[in-house]
Structure 1
Amino acid sequence: MQLRNAVAVALIGVSPLAQASGEDDKVGAEFELGVLVTSGNTEETNFNSRFAITQESRRWRNTGELSARHTEAEDETTAEQYKAEGETNYKLDERQYWFLRGAWEDDRFSGYAFESSLTTGYGNRLWESGEKSFWSVSAGLGYRYNRFDEPDENGEEAEDSAIARFATQLDYAISDRALFRQKLSTEVGLEDNNTISESETALQANVVGNLSMKTAFRVKHVSDPPVTKERTDTETALTLLYTF
């Protein structure tokens, strides 16, 4: 089975719907949307969307996320990206857990037709306060398969490698109405020496009811990208977030 099929299966398997719902389950979801249209000297349209769902019980914590980004300037598409990822955590105790994670990304301007990975390992919530504040770290091993848009200088159509993954996430409730979030991850290729690192810094504040305003800054760095492509991509987004 090709890795992309394996990842698809993994994403389904770690879906919050994969675990039978129980009385002690906590289920939440959020939908994020941002649209910016400019006209005049510069005509540009930016579209960002994201849907995330979480499910947590006494023994399991599951998350799934889908996102899309599209930018069009002067009737020409300048950015187009689709991502899907899912993770399941089996709680060994109140803080420690085992994780299984699958991710898939299609970025039209990255030089890759798609990027995918499957990892598993150990995680620990080193600090937790209330329902919204925590700091977690995780480390594990897995496999990465990325297919190029075009064959590289050696005629290769794809790259694959065993990887080591390290990640951390800090959620801090500034108040009942505001949340700060910092996510960092890096996947180190153990065979191809290609390291892919990502960071997201976000701040969201409640506007009214379940509606919040969110601003985020994201950075992705690829140490050995496809030929002619930049190593670092950044994105700044301002979106509306609805939780339910």
Structure 2
Amino acid sequence: MTIHRAIILLTASAALAHPAWAQSDLPPAVRQMVEAAANSGDPAKIAAVVAVAKETNKGAEAEIDRIVADIAATKAAQREAQLASAGFFEGWKGAGQLGASVSTGNSQTKSLTIGLNLERDGLNWRHRADALVDIVDNDGGADQERILAGYQIDYKFSGRLYAWGRFEYERNREAGIQRRFAESAGLGWRAVDGEAVKWDLEAGPALRQTKFVTYSENTVAARGASRFLWALSDSTAFTNDTAIFLDSAASISNTAALTSKLFGSLSTRLSFNLAWEEEPPLGLEKLDTTTRITLVYDF
């Protein structure tokens, strides 16, 4: 922790321990109510409590705002200090999913789906790792039909602008892809950063090494990506993730998902994936779709 951060944290903590408005006319019960709401971190709850407190305590509006602002400053300083001192293996959050999928296009299959998503959002660096495997039970035994895995690291210049680097691996035999590696980097921008809606846009150059069933190719490409989140309610969220590679032929992947909480850390997710190859190997279709129904556990 830097001296600057330590001073901020100590100052904010002292403000809470010995508030400047301790001798004010604001009733202790009202102050406690406002402090409890501010400490909850719930924007809707804070707004509702503050509105009632101001309505019933005319003349204390500035004092109420000061309580909320000081607690917010303390919480922000504490979080900054925690992120600055956290080790690489600390602060990871994620979700695992297990379910079934149905594919159309180059294959008409039903399969078992296993997935994992991890994220660590630090002070300046953000790490993301994801993997998704569809396992199909064919006549000849279990066969891994589709594997998607990726790792991305972001460096945040500000709350909206960041630089990113990403590595991806894909295997999809039914689409004629025995293996494909992609390395890319560029700039990202958080176009929308609201309480309910967040939308990241990314663009940059990329390299791809693909081994198709009948041939191999190495290409220089451009990569664009969109990551959209809409919290429809406290228990339901809609996401839509898109990635586009443009080289001698285009590749597009889009996944839309609706996730709803069941209880505790367990949720259910319905997702639809569209994968399009402009120039697939001879005899294969350009479009594959996969519908998945999974149980998701957050940790």
The SS at the match of 1:61 is: strand
Say whether the 8 Å CA contact 1:86–1:101 is kept in structure 2. yes
In the alignment, structure 1 segments of 5+ residues that lack a partner are 1-18, 38-43, 151-156
Partner of 2:227 in structure 1?
169
Q: Following TM superposition, by how much is the alpha carbon of 1:71 offset from its aligned partner in structure 2, in angstroms? A: 2.5
Q: Alignment length, in residue pairs?
A: 210
Distance in 1 of aligned mates of 2:85 and 2:92 = 9
**Which of 104, 112, 129 is 1:64 aligned to?**
129
Evaluate the alpha carbon distance shift between residue 20 and residue 84 of structure 1 in structure 2; reply closer, same or farther with a 3 A threshold: farther
The percent of aligned pairs where both chains have the same amino acid is 23
Query: Does 1:122 pair with 2:187?
Result: yes
Aligned residue in 1 for 2:162: 97
Query: Is 1:243 the counterpart of 2:298 in the alignment?
Result: yes
- Where does 1:146-157 land on structure 2 (aligned, <5 Å)? 146-150=210-214, 157=215
Contact residue 119 and residue 129 of structure 2 kept, 8 A: yes
* Paired position in structure 2 for 1:158: 216
Kindly state the Cα deviation for residue 238 of structure 1 after the two structures are TM-superposed. 0.5
Q: 2:84, 2:122 within 8 Å by CA — same for their partners in 1?
A: no
CA distance in 2, matches of 1:74, 1:233: 22
Match of 2:268 in 1: 213
Larger RCO (alpha carbons 8 Å, 6+ apart): 1
Q: CA separation in 1, counterparts of 2:209 and 2:253? A: 17
Q: Aligned equivalents of 2:176 and 2:101: distance in 1?
A: 26
AA aligned opposite 2:281: P
> Is residue 79–residue 109 contact of structure 1 (8 Å, CA) maintained in 2?
no
Which structure 2 residue ranges, 5 or more long, are not aligned?
Answer: 1-82, 103-108
Cα pair 2:101 2:113 within 8 Å, conserved: no
Q: How does 1:1-244 map to 2 (within 5 A)?
A: 22=86, 26-35=91-100, 46-72=111-137, 80-130=145-195, 133-150=197-214, 157-189=215-247, 193-244=248-299
Contact 2:101 2:292 in 1 (8 A): no
Instruction: Kindly indicate which of the two structures has a greater share of residues assigned to helix.
Output: 2
Distance (Å, rounded) in 2 between the aligned partners of 1:180 and 1:221: 22
Amino acid at match of 1:116: F
Distance 2:223 2:296 in 1: 29
The equivalent residue for 1:9 is: none
* Amino acid of the structure 1 residue aligned with 2:203: A
Task: Specify the code of the residue in structure 2 equivalent to 1:204.
Answer: T
Given that 1:30 and 1:53 are in contact with CA atoms closer than 8 Å, whether structure 2 keeps it comes out as yes
1:175 partner SS: coil
Structure 1 residues 45, 110: CA separation in 2 closer, same or farther (over 3 Å shift)? closer
Describe the shift of the 1:181–1:120 C-alpha distance in structure 2 as closer, same or farther (beyond 3 A).
same
Tell me if structure 2 keeps the 8 A contact 1:45–1:73.
no
SS in 1 for 2:244: strand
CA distance in 2, matches of 1:122, 1:100: 9
What is the alpha-carbon root mean square deviation over aligned residues? 2.5
Which piece of structure 1 moves more, 73-82 or 47-56? 73-82
Larger gyration radius, structure 1 or structure 2: 2
TM-score, normalising length from structure 1? 0.79
Bigger Cα displacement from structure 2, 135-144 vs 105-114? 105-114
